[in-house]
């Protein structure tokens, strides 16, 4: 049954997305514990301490061009210089440079001590042992100063910074072989539902394959945590209680899918109530209205709704920021772009919509977006066609073609 576009879904008890995220971020605190890892082991990890530079980078003034090093105060159009030596990268010239003299220098070669400027070789004429400058550069040109990239003693990377490829190179350029990083969060996850079977098994009547556990595997892997798959459990209170206790004993954070709402078979909600520390939230968003959040013993808990798209959206909006907080990373709101809707967008007031979109760039550089097809929260194929979420404001109704809308590229969300 389709909902008429005039339908208002406003629920005065529902939390806004912003309020729910704020609650998550103010409750979840970074995990204690750091470890020293070698450089490559630091990839994807979060620095536990600021890194300060033990040396200047570059460590010495050097040439940015293949050419001739000389003194700028001697430079004028047509001036001739005698070549008195060579400085190759890794092989400095150790002599002096007298008046009217220059040194042949290669890119990366150390600047001879008396020189302050490099004339690139295309701008001179070589006449045997001498050069004649045909095009004079500005004083100091083509020289990379010592410490110009990083000054010795300065803070290069703050604590809480996540190490990527640029950081690996940066740390190596300082000669560092090890860094202190935060402990990885341990995450345990499981699916719930009597209807679930695993890929490879035959489907009985009314059964479906468990896709959420595999989506969660991918999401957790991409987020960079230590993840343990506890399988799928039936809609059974005793089984839910047993696996929940097992998860709490081994994880810093538990993620479940399904059984999040108020149905007769929603045992997750019931087991959580016994533990007392998790709350059931209705969030004014679509997809992903029901969410359980809180503690199970010493672990954080996110009970995501069962619908596959709701799993991905609530993971991106709430679980991923919580994991970043746990691993000590500073929170940065995802990049939000503005794009023109190619066609009209269905929307009812009352919930913030996160529709699945395909974002493209027109030849003039402006952005346009259209939905990736059906928008129900079980349409996982649409998630795979999409490259962004289209965020439509809670109180908005239908959007006309040509409207400007917020879009959040996936690469800003799933990381």
Ligand X SMILES: Nc1nc2c(c(=O)[nH]1)N[C@H]1C(S)=C(S)[C@@H](COP(=O)(O)OP(=O)(O)OC[C@H]3O[C@@H](n4cnc5c(N)ncnc54)[C@H](O)[C@@H]3O)O[C@H]1N2
Q: Which two tokens stand for residue 272?
A: 């959580």
Cα 32–Cα 295–Cα 42 angle in degrees, nearest 5: 30
Contact between 137 and ligand MOO by CB under 6 A: the answer reads no
- My answer on whether omega of the bond before 367 falls inside 30° of 0, hence cis, is no
| Calpha distance 389→366 (Å, rounded) | 17
| Calpha distance 192→201 (Å, rounded) | 17
Closer by beta carbon to ligand X, 210 or else 370: 210
Closer by beta carbon to ligand MOO, 21 or else 57: 21
**Beta partners for 189?**
229, 255
Contact between 306 and ligand X by CB under 6 A: the answer reads yes
For residue 401, how many other CB atoms are within 10 A of its CB?
Answer: 11
Binding test (CB under 6 A) with ligand MOO, winner from 45, 162, 182, 286: 286
Closer by beta carbon to ligand X, 210 or else 252: 210
Contact between 287 and ligand MOO by CB under 6 A: the answer reads yes
Contact between 260 and ligand X by CB under 6 A: the answer reads yes
| Calpha distance 1→50 (Å, rounded) | 56
Binding test (CB under 6 A) with ligand MOO, winner from 30, 109, 193, 288: 288
Window contacting ligand MOO (CB under 6 A); options: 53-61, 209-217, 282-290, 403-411? 282-290
Contact between 307 and ligand MOO by CB under 6 A: the answer reads yes
Closer by beta carbon to ligand MOO, 157 or else 390: 390
Contact between 259 and ligand MOO by CB under 6 A: the answer reads no
Please, what is the minimum distance in Å from the beta carbon of residue 37 to ligand MOO? 38
Residues that contact ligand X, how many (by CB under 6 A): 26
DSSP string across 162-209:
BP-HHHHHHHHHTT--EEEEEPPPEEEEEEE-TTEE-TTSPP-TT-EE
- My answer on whether omega of the bond before 58 falls inside 30° of 0, hence cis, is yes
Residues in the chain: 415
Please, what is the minimum distance in Å from the beta carbon of residue 360 to ligand X? 29
Report which of 323, 321, 286 is spatially closest to residue 305, judged by C-alpha positions.
286
185 binds, among ligand X, ligand MOO, none (CB under 5 to 8 A by kind): none
Window contacting ligand X (CB under 6 A); options: 157-165, 203-211, 332-340, 405-413? 203-211
Contact between 383 and ligand MOO by CB under 6 A: the answer reads no
Site of interaction with ligand MOO (CB under 6 A): 286-289, 305, 307, 310, 377
């Amino acid at each position: 049954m389709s909902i008429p576009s005039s339908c208002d879904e406003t629920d005065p008890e529902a939390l806004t997305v912003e309020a729910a995220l704020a609650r998550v971020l103010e409750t979840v605190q970074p995990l204690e514990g750091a470890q020293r890892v070698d450089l490559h082991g630091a990839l994807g990890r979060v620095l536990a301490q600021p890194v300060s530079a033990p040396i200047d980078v570059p460590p010495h003034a050097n040439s940015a061009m293949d050419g001739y090093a000389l003194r700028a105060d001697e430079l004028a159009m047509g001036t001739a210089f005698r070549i008195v030596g060579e400085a190759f990268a890794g092989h400095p010239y150790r002599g002096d440079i007298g008046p009217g003299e220059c040194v042949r220098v290669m890119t990366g070669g150390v600047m001879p001590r008396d020189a302050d400027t490099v004339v690139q070789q295309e701008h001179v004429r070589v006449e045997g042992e001498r050069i004649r400058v045909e095009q004079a550069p500005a004083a100091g040109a083509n020289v990379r100063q010592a410490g110009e990239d990083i000054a010795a003693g300065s803070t290069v990377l703050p604590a809480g910074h996540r190490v990527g490829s640029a950081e690996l190179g940066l740390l190596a350029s300082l000669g560092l072989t090890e860094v202190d990083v935060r402990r990885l969060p341990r995450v345990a996850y499981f699916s719930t539902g009597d209807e679930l079977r695993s890929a490879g098994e035959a489907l009985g009547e009314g059964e479906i394959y468990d896709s959420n556990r595999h989506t969660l595997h991918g999401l957790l892997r991409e987020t960079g945590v230590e993840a343990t798959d506890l399988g799928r459990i039936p809609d059974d209170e005793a089984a839910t209680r047993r696996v929940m206790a097992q998860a709490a004993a081994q994880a810093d954070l538990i993620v479940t899918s399904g059984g999040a709402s108020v149905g007769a078979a929603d045992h997750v909600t019931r087991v959580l109530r016994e533990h007392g520390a998790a709350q059931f939230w209705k969030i004014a968003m679509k997809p992903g209205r029901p969410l359980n959040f809180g503690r199970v013993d010493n672990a954080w808990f996110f009970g995501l709704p069962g619908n596959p798209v709701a799993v991905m959206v609530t993971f991106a909006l709430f679980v991923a920021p919580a994991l970043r907080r746990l691993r000590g990373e500073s929170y940065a709101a995802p990049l939000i772009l503005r794009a023109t809707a190619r066609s009209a967008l269905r929307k009812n007031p009352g919930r913030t919509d996160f529709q699945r979109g395909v974002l493209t760039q027109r030849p003039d550089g402006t952005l346009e977006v259209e939905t990736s097809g059906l928008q129900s929260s079980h349409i996982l194929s649409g998630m795979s066609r999409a490259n962004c979420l289209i965020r439509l404001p809670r109180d908005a109704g239908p959007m006309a073609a040509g409207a400007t809308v917020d879009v959040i590229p996936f690469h800003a969300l799933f990381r």
